Chain A
Amino acid sequence: DGGITQSPKYLFRKEGQNVTLSCEQNLNHDAMYWYRQDPGQGLRLIYYSQIVNDFQKGDIAEGYSVSREKKESFPLTVTSAQKNPTAFYLCASSSVIYNQPQHFGDGTRLSIL
Protein backbone atom coordinates (compact mmCIF):
# COMPACT_ATOMS: atom_id res chain seq x y z
CA ASP A 1 0.00 0.00 0.00
CA GLY A 2 1.20 3.50 -0.79
CA GLY A 3 1.83 5.93 2.00
CA ILE A 4 4.20 8.10 3.97
CA THR A 5 6.58 6.68 6.54
CA GLN A 6 8.08 8.83 9.25
CA SER A 7 10.77 7.59 11.61
CA PRO A 8 11.45 7.42 14.42
CA LYS A 9 8.10 7.73 16.18
CA TYR A 10 9.77 9.21 19.29
CA LEU A 11 13.06 11.08 19.41
CA PHE A 12 15.03 12.68 22.20
CA ARG A 13 17.57 15.42 21.73
CA LYS A 14 20.31 16.58 24.02
CA GLU A 15 21.22 20.24 24.29
CA GLY A 16 23.44 21.37 21.42
CA GLN A 17 22.69 18.33 19.31
CA ASN A 18 21.36 18.16 15.76
CA VAL A 19 18.81 15.46 15.01
CA THR A 20 17.35 14.31 11.70
CA LEU A 21 13.77 13.17 11.17
CA SER A 22 13.13 10.82 8.29
CA CYS A 23 10.22 11.05 5.82
CA GLU A 24 9.77 8.63 2.91
CA GLN A 25 6.81 8.36 0.52
CA ASN A 26 5.91 5.86 -2.19
CA LEU A 27 2.91 7.76 -3.54
CA ASN A 28 4.91 9.18 -6.47
CA HIS A 29 4.12 12.69 -5.24
CA ASP A 30 6.29 15.58 -6.34
CA ALA A 31 5.49 17.88 -3.42
CA MET A 32 6.50 17.24 0.18
CA TYR A 33 6.01 19.30 3.33
CA TRP A 34 7.16 19.49 6.94
CA TYR A 35 4.87 20.84 9.65
CA ARG A 36 5.33 21.48 13.33
CA GLN A 37 2.41 21.02 15.73
CA ASP A 38 2.46 22.29 19.32
CA PRO A 39 -0.15 21.22 21.89
CA GLY A 40 -3.53 22.77 21.23
CA GLN A 41 -2.32 24.50 18.10
CA GLY A 42 -2.63 24.06 14.38
CA LEU A 43 -0.01 22.95 11.91
CA ARG A 44 2.72 25.42 11.02
CA LEU A 45 4.73 24.98 7.82
CA ILE A 46 8.49 24.62 8.25
CA TYR A 47 9.71 23.80 4.73
CA TYR A 48 8.21 22.52 1.51
CA SER A 49 9.53 21.13 -1.73
CA GLN A 50 7.74 20.85 -5.05
CA ILE A 51 10.52 19.18 -7.00
CA VAL A 52 13.75 17.31 -6.38
CA ASN A 53 16.73 19.52 -5.48
CA ASP A 54 14.50 22.51 -4.72
CA PHE A 55 12.78 23.60 -1.52
CA GLN A 56 11.36 26.76 0.03
CA LYS A 57 11.11 28.08 3.56
CA GLY A 58 7.74 28.02 5.22
CA ASP A 59 6.54 30.20 8.06
CA ILE A 60 8.89 28.91 10.79
CA ALA A 61 12.08 27.73 9.03
CA GLU A 62 14.60 29.18 11.50
CA GLY A 63 16.60 26.45 13.25
CA TYR A 64 15.63 23.79 10.69
CA SER A 65 17.18 22.50 7.48
CA VAL A 66 16.03 20.07 4.77
CA SER A 67 17.28 18.32 1.66
CA ARG A 68 15.48 16.81 -1.32
CA GLU A 69 17.93 14.61 -3.19
CA LYS A 70 15.36 11.99 -4.12
CA LYS A 71 11.68 12.30 -5.00
CA GLU A 72 10.76 9.80 -2.29
CA SER A 73 12.68 11.36 0.59
CA PHE A 74 12.52 14.69 2.44
CA PRO A 75 14.51 14.55 5.70
CA LEU A 76 14.28 17.36 8.26
CA THR A 77 17.19 18.30 10.50
CA VAL A 78 16.44 20.10 13.73
CA THR A 79 19.59 22.03 14.51
CA SER A 80 20.94 23.25 17.83
CA ALA A 81 19.85 26.74 16.74
CA GLN A 82 16.22 25.71 17.28
CA LYS A 83 15.82 26.67 20.92
CA ASN A 84 12.40 25.17 21.50
CA PRO A 85 12.28 21.97 19.42
CA THR A 86 9.87 19.98 21.58
CA ALA A 87 6.87 19.35 19.32
CA PHE A 88 5.04 16.87 17.12
CA TYR A 89 6.47 16.92 13.57
CA LEU A 90 4.35 15.88 10.61
CA CYS A 91 5.48 15.18 7.07
CA ALA A 92 3.03 15.33 4.17
CA SER A 93 3.02 14.92 0.42
CA SER A 94 0.75 15.82 -2.46
CA SER A 95 0.57 15.96 -6.21
CA VAL A 96 1.67 19.30 -7.67
CA ILE A 97 -1.67 19.93 -9.24
CA TYR A 98 -4.19 22.35 -7.83
CA ASN A 99 -6.81 21.03 -5.48
CA GLN A 100 -5.06 17.88 -4.38
CA PRO A 101 -5.20 16.67 -0.77
CA GLN A 102 -2.14 16.34 1.37
CA HIS A 103 -1.37 12.89 2.75
CA PHE A 104 0.27 12.82 6.16
CA GLY A 105 2.67 10.47 7.89
CA ASP A 106 2.09 9.32 11.48
CA GLY A 107 4.45 11.93 12.89
CA THR A 108 7.57 12.09 15.06
CA ARG A 109 7.39 13.37 18.63
CA LEU A 110 10.61 15.17 19.55
CA SER A 111 11.53 15.90 23.16
CA ILE A 112 14.50 17.51 24.89
CA LEU A 113 16.49 15.55 27.46
Chain B
Amino acid sequence: QQPVQSPQAVILREGEDAVINCSSSKALYSVHWYRQKHGEAPVFLMILLKGGEQKGHEKISASFNEKKQQSSLYLTASQLSYSGTYFCGTEKVTGGTSYGKLTFGQGTILTVHP
Protein backbone atom coordinates (compact mmCIF):
# COMPACT_ATOMS: atom_id res chain seq x y z
CA GLN B 1 0.00 0.00 0.00
CA GLN B 2 0.97 3.58 -0.65
CA PRO B 3 2.29 5.46 2.41
CA VAL B 4 0.16 8.37 3.56
CA GLN B 5 1.68 11.83 3.78
CA SER B 6 0.34 14.70 5.85
CA PRO B 7 -0.39 17.48 5.46
CA GLN B 8 -1.26 17.59 1.75
CA ALA B 9 -0.11 21.20 1.48
CA VAL B 10 1.74 23.74 3.59
CA ILE B 11 2.14 27.49 3.10
CA LEU B 12 4.94 29.24 4.96
CA ARG B 13 6.68 32.59 5.17
CA GLU B 14 10.44 32.64 4.93
CA GLY B 15 12.02 31.67 8.24
CA GLU B 16 9.10 29.57 9.47
CA ASP B 17 9.31 25.87 10.27
CA ALA B 18 7.34 22.91 8.93
CA VAL B 19 6.93 19.19 9.57
CA ILE B 20 5.84 16.65 6.97
CA ASN B 21 4.80 13.19 8.05
CA CYS B 22 4.84 9.86 6.22
CA SER B 23 2.99 6.84 7.64
CA SER B 24 2.88 3.26 6.46
CA SER B 25 0.79 0.25 7.44
CA LYS B 26 3.65 -2.09 6.53
CA ALA B 27 6.87 -2.90 8.38
CA LEU B 28 9.51 -0.70 6.82
CA TYR B 29 13.20 -1.18 6.19
CA SER B 30 13.89 2.38 5.16
CA VAL B 31 12.29 5.67 4.22
CA HIS B 32 13.60 7.91 1.44
CA TRP B 33 12.76 11.61 1.09
CA TYR B 34 12.79 13.50 -2.23
CA ARG B 35 11.89 17.03 -3.31
CA GLN B 36 10.48 17.82 -6.75
CA LYS B 37 10.18 21.24 -8.34
CA HIS B 38 7.36 21.68 -10.86
CA GLY B 39 8.12 19.89 -14.15
CA GLU B 40 11.51 18.68 -12.92
CA ALA B 41 12.95 15.41 -11.69
CA PRO B 42 12.74 14.50 -8.00
CA VAL B 43 15.95 15.22 -6.10
CA PHE B 44 17.15 12.95 -3.30
CA LEU B 45 17.28 14.48 0.19
CA MET B 46 18.04 11.63 2.61
CA ILE B 47 17.45 8.02 3.64
CA LEU B 48 16.29 6.97 7.09
CA LEU B 49 16.91 3.47 8.35
CA LYS B 50 14.89 1.50 10.88
CA GLY B 51 16.25 2.11 14.36
CA GLY B 52 15.06 5.68 14.82
CA GLU B 53 18.15 7.21 13.29
CA GLN B 54 17.82 10.92 12.67
CA LYS B 55 19.63 12.53 9.79
CA GLY B 56 20.21 16.09 8.76
CA HIS B 57 20.99 18.03 5.64
CA GLU B 58 21.61 21.74 6.27
CA LYS B 59 18.35 22.95 7.83
CA ILE B 60 16.39 19.88 6.77
CA SER B 61 16.37 16.85 9.03
CA ALA B 62 14.27 13.72 9.43
CA SER B 63 13.49 10.94 11.83
CA PHE B 64 12.10 7.42 11.55
CA ASN B 65 9.98 5.84 14.26
CA GLU B 66 10.16 2.11 13.58
CA LYS B 67 7.44 1.20 16.08
CA LYS B 68 4.94 3.57 14.49
CA GLN B 69 6.22 2.96 10.93
CA GLN B 70 6.32 6.71 10.56
CA SER B 71 8.90 9.18 9.32
CA SER B 72 8.88 12.93 9.77
CA LEU B 73 10.73 15.55 7.72
CA TYR B 74 11.62 18.76 9.57
CA LEU B 75 12.29 21.98 7.66
CA THR B 76 13.59 24.77 9.85
CA ALA B 77 14.02 28.46 9.02
CA SER B 78 12.52 27.81 5.59
CA GLN B 79 13.94 29.49 2.49
CA LEU B 80 12.27 30.30 -0.82
CA SER B 81 14.28 27.48 -2.40
CA TYR B 82 12.49 24.95 -0.18
CA SER B 83 9.30 25.33 -2.22
CA GLY B 84 8.28 22.19 -4.09
CA THR B 85 6.55 18.87 -3.59
CA TYR B 86 8.05 16.53 -1.02
CA PHE B 87 7.67 12.78 -1.45
CA CYS B 88 8.49 9.96 0.89
CA GLY B 89 9.37 6.60 -0.61
CA THR B 90 9.16 3.54 1.60
CA GLU B 91 11.02 0.26 1.31
CA LYS B 92 9.30 -2.70 2.93
CA VAL B 93 10.99 -5.38 4.97
CA THR B 94 11.33 -8.42 2.73
CA GLY B 95 13.54 -11.49 2.61
CA GLY B 96 13.93 -11.39 -1.13
CA THR B 97 15.67 -9.35 -3.78
CA SER B 98 13.31 -6.43 -4.05
CA TYR B 99 15.69 -3.99 -2.43
CA GLY B 100 15.49 -0.57 -3.94
CA LYS B 101 11.80 -1.02 -4.77
CA LEU B 102 10.12 2.04 -3.33
CA THR B 103 6.47 2.91 -2.86
CA PHE B 104 5.92 6.65 -2.90
CA GLY B 105 3.41 8.74 -1.00
CA GLN B 106 1.11 11.18 -2.77
CA GLY B 107 3.31 14.15 -1.95
CA THR B 108 3.12 17.30 0.19
CA ILE B 109 3.17 20.66 -1.60
CA LEU B 110 5.29 23.20 0.28
CA THR B 111 5.07 26.86 -0.69
CA VAL B 112 7.38 29.42 0.90
CA HIS B 113 6.52 33.10 0.47
CA PRO B 114 8.85 36.08 1.06
Which A residues have a C-beta under 8 Å from some C-beta of B? 31, 33, 35, 40-45, 48, 50, 56, 58-59, 90, 94, 96-107
Contacts and interface: CB of A to CB of B under 8 A. Distances in A.
Interface in B79-114: 87, 89, 97-107
B99 A45 contact: no
Contact of B100 (A35, A41, A50): A50
B30 interface: yes
Interface of B: 2, 29-30, 32, 39-44, 47, 49, 87, 89, 97-107
A42 B44 contact: no
Nearest to B98: A56
Contacts of A97: 99
A8 to B, nearest CB: 15
Main secondary structure of the interface of B (DSSP, over half): loop
User: Which residue, B30, B41, B100, B104, has most C-beta atoms of chain A within 10 A?
Assistant: B100
A96 B102 contact: no
A42 B100 contact: no
Given A98-B29, A99-B30, A43 B99 contact: no
A43 B47 contact: no
B41 A101 contact: no
Closest 3 CB pairs of A and B: A104-B41, A101-B44, A42-B104
A99 B49 contact: yes
A43 B30 contact: no
